[in-house]
Amino acid sequence: MDTYMTLTAYGDGAQAALEKAQDEVEKLEDEWSVTNENSEIYQLNHSGGNPVTLSDDTADIVGFALEMAEETGGDLDPTIYPVLEAWGFTTDENRIPSQEELDALLANVGYERVQLDGTTVQLPAGMEFDLGAVGKGYTGDILAQLLEDEGVTSALLDLGGNIQAVGERPGGGDWRLGIRSPFDGGEGVLGMLLASDCAVVTSGNYERYFVGEDGKEYGHIIDPDTGYPVDNGLASVTIITEEGKRGDALSTSMFVKGLDEASRYWQDYQDFEMILVTQDGQIYLTEGIEDQFTLSSDFGNMDTHVIERDEQ
């Protein structure tokens, strides 16, 4: 999944459970990689439009990605990969593609055209499917379940910035989870969130971006409507949810939506909480986590706003 993962578990049996967790990550990586020729996603992307039968895990995550694409009105689109390639985000040879090139690629983007029937999927020739926006979150869910099945009641999983908290911290009580700051290359800690048994997933342009010849910064989250990296004034989106996969899907898609639309989305669903940080240093917290979040002293000069529930 092209990232570092740190898995920490406490209590009896933790070591054995973590070894199983590591094997599981390697198995999922083998199934989902877009570049490994033996992966199921690679096979799908080279199927020439023919139906492909997937393993249960992979069919499940493909189905979930398609559902979230539908739910977010296509702001999450797991078929955006060819556009990502054109910008060089898959090879680190970044460039700014021409509008003609983007238009041609966007003709092959569109989750609605992917057919999933049970574990059989059909992807039109020329299209590509990628789990970059949801794979780590889903992996977090699978690992949390695996650890619980192994009897672990307290663990903290950091999957490349996606945090999955299993149970409470050792000894009881909420974990103190650091939320990464989108400024200064993502090095600092914006604040602390007190939470247990949940996933905390952050998306932002600070992890993967490049400066174009025009001097502008281009990040790795693409607006499927334009084929351009998102540039809407947001610096990062953190989602707090029960399930990592939903957190991952929402962190990417709320980043695409921007402050106003993301706030409305939260009003409509309210099964998650969120922290939005704008490039000009404003922080927006949804009402449900207002009391659980404390800003770091380094960022004490940032303005904090609470997104409140509309009166029904």
Site residues (vs Mg ion, CB under 5 A): 133, 203, 248, 251-252
- Is residue 130 at the binding interface for ligand ADP, with CB under 6 A as the rule? yes
Q: Whose Cβ is closer to ligand ADP: residue 84's or residue 193's?
A: 84
Q: Whose Cβ is closer to ligand ADP: residue 154's or residue 238's?
A: 238
Which of ligand ADP, Mg ion, none interacts with 240 (beta carbon under 5 to 8 A by kind)? Answer: none
Chain residue whose CB lies nearest Mg ion? 252
Number of C-beta neighbours around residue 67 at 10 A:
15
- Number of chain residues interacting with ligand ADP (CB under 6 A): 21
Q: In whole angstroms, give the CA distance from residue 145 to residue 20.
A: 12
> From the list 14, 54, 76, 285, which residue makes contact with ligand ADP (rule: CB under 6 A)?
76
Q: Whose Cβ is closer to ligand ADP: residue 136's or residue 152's?
A: 136
Q: Whose Cβ is closer to ligand ADP: residue 132's or residue 167's?
A: 132
Q: Whose Cβ is closer to ligand ADP: residue 170's or residue 212's?
A: 212
Q: Whose Cβ is closer to Mg ion: residue 61's or residue 133's?
A: 133
Q: Whose Cβ is closer to ligand ADP: residue 17's or residue 41's?
A: 41
- Is residue 256 at the binding interface for ligand ADP, with CB under 6 A as the rule? yes
**Minimum distance between the CB of residue 14 and Mg ion, rounded to whole angstroms?**
28
- Is residue 227 at the binding interface for ligand ADP, with CB under 6 A as the rule? no
Binding segment for ligand ADP (CB under 6 A), chosen from 48-56, 70-78, 95-103, 139-147, is 70-78
Q: Whose Cβ is closer to ligand ADP: residue 73's or residue 170's?
A: 73
Closest by Cα among 138, 248, 156 to 202: 248
- Is residue 243 at the binding interface for ligand ADP, with CB under 6 A as the rule? no
**Minimum distance between the CB of residue 205 and ligand ADP, rounded to whole angstroms?**
9
Instruction: Map tokens 């009166």 to a residue.
Output: 311
- Exposed (0-12), middle (13-18) or buried (19+): which is 213, by Cβ within 10 Å? exposed
Which of ligand ADP, Mg ion, none interacts with 259 (beta carbon under 5 to 8 A by kind)? Answer: none
Closest by Cα among 235, 237, 236 to 279: 235
- Is residue 132 at the binding interface for ligand ADP, with CB under 6 A as the rule? yes
> From the list 5, 7, 114, 133, which residue makes contact with ligand ADP (rule: CB under 6 A)?
133
- What interhelical angle do 56-71 and 135-149 show, nearest 10? 130
Pattern of binders to ligand ADP over 140-179, x per CB under 6 A?
A: --------------------xx------------------
Q: In whole angstroms, give the CA distance from residue 248 to residue 86.
A: 23
- Is residue 82 at the binding interface for ligand ADP, with CB under 6 A as the rule? no
Q: In whole angstroms, give the CA distance from residue 40 to residue 47.
A: 10
Q: In whole angstroms, give the CA distance from residue 47 to residue 126.
A: 10
- Chain residues binding ligand ADP by CB under 6 A are 76-78, 80, 84, 130, 132-133, 136, 160-161, 203, 207, 220-222, 224, 248, 251-252, 256
